[in-house]
């Protein structure tokens, strides 16, 4: 593994725990359901975002880049995690934000608070995000600028996400996680043995067509034992229903685990539906990855009991 430069002490893996759910929650339909609390890693650089960023940050620092540029929407966990991590390592950060906002979101305010310079572009223009000329215009000193793709979706992001395997013991038969770009899924699939099946829950519509793209980033011999579950989108990305909010509140009351409204709530809801439909064997052990994202709950805090 590449050495990590700079001070990573403020993000401490010792904060991460594996929390078993009670039999009451999974009604003894399987041998166990545990939650990997990556949300406890850090309040801003939460969960999988740190793993996708760490090798990108290390590369930028080790190669003398001064500025990091990345992309995201107004509620992007990736954008704010990058802002924070860049500041932590003394790098300048620039965020290219898709869409024009009448008022900045709480997430965007946080990005600025962590020193990120924001550039708002229309959705059409955002399509050019890979365009070198466009990026050149955004940064005065292009040569010392390192570009992290949206969602940290590059080889370093996947390799970094693969490091989450350190928390995944052999006893688990299924690993559940929420999918955005599929970077975390691909990175973990590349690392975990094929006896452990990965269930990727997509919190947006029309996710089925993504499977081929995700496979493209998985080693040929590992392009199986994973599945994209597309039913639990609740109307689309960032959309919610009263039933989902009620589920989050009930889950918190029963487990004291706060789920986020965009990703992990939909995954846990899906797991519970699958348990009720008896889609697992009684000897199965499921590890659900809580990938963080709790900063995004500020937009619904009036609806939540936590």
Site residues (vs ligand PLP, CB under 6 A): 47-49, 77-78, 151, 178-185, 260, 263-264, 291-293
Q: Are 58 and 4 in contact (CB under 8 A)?
A: yes
Q: Report, in Å, the least distance between residue 94 CB and ligand PLP.
A: 19
* Cβ proximity of 237 and 204 under 8 Å: yes
The nearer residue to ligand PLP, 171 or 231, going by C-beta atoms, is 231
- CB 264 to ligand PLP: min, Å: 6
Query: Which residue, 158, 149, 153, is CA-closest to 70?
Result: 149
Q: How far is the CB of 35 from ligand PLP (least distance, A)?
A: 13
Nearer to ligand PLP, 82 or 173 (CB): 82
Taking only Cα atoms into account, the Rg of the chain, rounded to an integer number of angstroms, comes to 19
Tell me how far apart the alpha carbons of residues 159 and 161 are, in angstroms, rounded to a whole number: 5
CB of 143 to ligand PLP, least distance (A): 29
Q: Which is nearer to ligand PLP, 275 or 292 (CB)?
A: 292
**DSSP labels, 260-285:** PTTTHHHHHHHHHHHHHTT-S-TT-E
Q: What are phi and psi of 79, to 5 degrees?
A: -60, -50
Q: Which residues of 15-35 are buried (b: 16+ CB within 10 A; e: fewer)?
A: ebeeeebeeebbeebbbbbbb
CB of 37 to ligand PLP, least distance (A): 12
Question: Which of 173/264 has CB closer to ligand PLP?
Answer: 264
The DSSP string of 225-253 is: SEEEE-S--TTSTT---HHHHHHHHHHHH
In the complex, minimum distance from the CB of residue 39 to ligand PLP, in angstroms, rounded to a whole number: 8
- Residue whose CB is nearest to ligand PLP in the complex, by number: 293
Closer residue to ligand PLP, CB minimum distance, 139 or 163: 163
Cβ nearer to ligand PLP, comparing 139 with 159 = 159
């Amino acid at each position: 593994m590449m050495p990590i430069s700079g001070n990573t002490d403020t993000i401490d893996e010792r904060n991460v725990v594996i929390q078993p759910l009670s039999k009451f929650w999974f009604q003894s339909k399987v041998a166990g359901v545990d939650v990997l609390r990556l949300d406890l890693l850090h309040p801003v650089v939460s969960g999988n975002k740190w793993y996708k960023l760490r090798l990108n940050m290390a590369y930028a620092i080790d190669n003398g880049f001064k500025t990091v540029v990345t992309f995201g929407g107004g509620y992007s966990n990736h954008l704010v995690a990058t802002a924070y991590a860049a500041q932590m390592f003394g790098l300048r950060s620039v965020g290219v934000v898709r869409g024009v906002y009448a008022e900045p979101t709480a997430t965007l305010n946080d990005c600025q608070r962590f020193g990120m310079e924001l550039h708002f572009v229309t959705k059409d223009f955002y399509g050019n995000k890979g365009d070198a000329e466009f990026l050149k215009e955004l940064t005065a000193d292009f040569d010392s600028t390192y570009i992290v793709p949206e969602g940290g979706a590059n080889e370093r992001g996947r390799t970094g996400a693969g490091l989450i395997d350190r928390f995944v013991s052999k006893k688990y038969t299924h690993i559940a996680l929420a999918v955005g770009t599929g970077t975390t899924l691909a990175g973990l699939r590349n690392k975990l043995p094929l006896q452990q099946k990965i269930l990727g829950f997509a919190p947006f519509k029309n996710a089925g067509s993504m499977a081929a793209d995700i496979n493209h980033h998985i080693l040929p011999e590992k392009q199986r034992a994973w599945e994209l579950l597309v039913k639990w989108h609740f109307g689309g990305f960032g959309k919610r229903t009263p039933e989902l909010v009620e589920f989050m509140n009930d889950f918190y009351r029963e487990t004291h685990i706060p789920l986020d409204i965009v990703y992990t709530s939909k995954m846990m809801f899906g797991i519970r539906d699958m348990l009720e439909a008896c889609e697992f064997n009684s000897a199965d052990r499921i590890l659900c990855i809580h990938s963080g994202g709790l900063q995004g709950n500020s937009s619904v805090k009036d609806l939540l009991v936590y």
